[in-house]
Amino acid sequence: MLKSDARTRAHSQSFAKWIIALSYFARSAFGVRGVFAPLLSGPMSRTSRQQLLQRHVTQLLQCRRCPRMQSTPVSGGAIMSDIMVVGQAPGPREPVLQRPFAHTAGKTLFRWFDEFCGVNEAAVRSRIYFAAVCRCFPGKNSSGTDRVPAPDEIRNCSSWMDNEIRILRPCLIIPVGRLAIMQFIDCPRLEKVIGYTFRVQRAGHRFDLIPLPHPSGASPWHKISPGRELTKCALELIARYPAIAALSKRRRQSENAATLG
Ligand code: SF4
């Protein structure tokens, strides 16, 4: 290789490193996608990604890959967001009400967001993308509780989540419950992962992961020490996360504007 070629290549590599560093800085400082992200991930516009996401959700709702599932898929809609919440699987109510976390677990989850992050249910649903390990209700098991999705069903459904990560390129994913957490990191015990932030890669994209315990009444983990304190710690991490803090700020601004108006 000629010396000048080598110099040019070295300059380009160092320029690329600067762009990557600046992009990460912009993302962590402002909680939004780095201003240089389009240079790093192709020229796809927000409108194109919105269209892709809309098409993705339409196809997801038609999915019938798992014959043992007891409902059709549930989706929270094609919400363009930097943040994803990943649940486990819908219960019996969600397919009827046609939205994720529509019943008791949802009440607790949205109360957590409201109390710790200052973002109410309507704002969470309209600003955060909701995914799940499986999108259909698995049915009940012999003891009358919700059946845990089988490995083949989780495998079948994982391509939907991979596609969502490719389209949205989120900065933060919040997996809710052990089954959801285990799709990203090892989770031998909730005590080892709740209250921490992890840097994770999936579907060719790197993002932060802040796990939460499942808020269903079936598991008392989040109500009893040390789960109670660790859950508080995780919610405080989420509240301080720049993209979440931006949602809270936007809500306060719109409330102030409504009061003044
Ligand atoms: S669980 Fe997922 S992969 Fe299986 S039928 Fe439902 S949407 Fe399709």
pLDDT of residue 2: 39
Nearest CA to ligand 1 atom 3: 157
Tens place of pLDDT per residue across the chain (261 aa): 434 444 444 444 454 445 444 444 444 444 444 334 444 455 678 899 999 999 999 999 999 999 999 999 999 999 999 999 999 999 999 999 999 999 999 999 999 999 999 999 999 999 999 999 999 999 999 999 999 999 999 999 999 999 999 999 999 999 999 999 999 999 999 999 999 999 999 999 999 999 999 998 778 999 999 999 999 999 999 999 999 999 988 777 777 777 666
Q: What is the pTM of this model?
A: 0.82
| Any atom of ligand 1 within 6 Å of the Cβ of 132 | no
Pairing mode, if any, of strands 129-132 and 205-209? Answer: unpaired
Closest ligand 1 atom to 60 CA: 7
198 contacts: CB under 8 Å, gap ≥ 6:
184, 185, 208, 209, 210, 211
> Would you call 36 helix, strand, or coil by DSSP?
coil
pLDDT of residue 207: 98
37-to-22, 46, 113, 188 alpha-carbon distances in Å: 10, 12, 28, 35
Closest ligand 1 atom to 134 CA: 1
| Any atom of ligand 1 within 6 Å of the Cβ of 69 | yes
Place of tokens 């993705």: 56
Evaluate whether 77 touches 95 at the Cβ level (below 8 Å): no
pLDDT of residue 208: 98
| Any atom of ligand 1 within 6 Å of the Cβ of 65 | yes
The alpha carbon dihedral of 155, 160, 161, 167 has a sign of positive
At the topology level, CATH places domain 68-260 in Uracil-DNA Glycosylase, subunit E (3.40.470)
pLDDT of residue 180: 98
Domain boundaries, the chain: 68-260
Closest by CA position to 202, among listed 230, 177, 175: 175
| Any atom of ligand 1 within 6 Å of the Cβ of 136 | yes
From 152, 153, 155, give the residue whose CB has the most ligand 1 atoms within 8 Å, as the site to mutate. 153
Evaluate whether 22 touches 39 at the Cβ level (below 8 Å): no
Nearest CA to ligand 1 atom 4: 66
> Would you call 86 helix, strand, or coil by DSSP?
strand
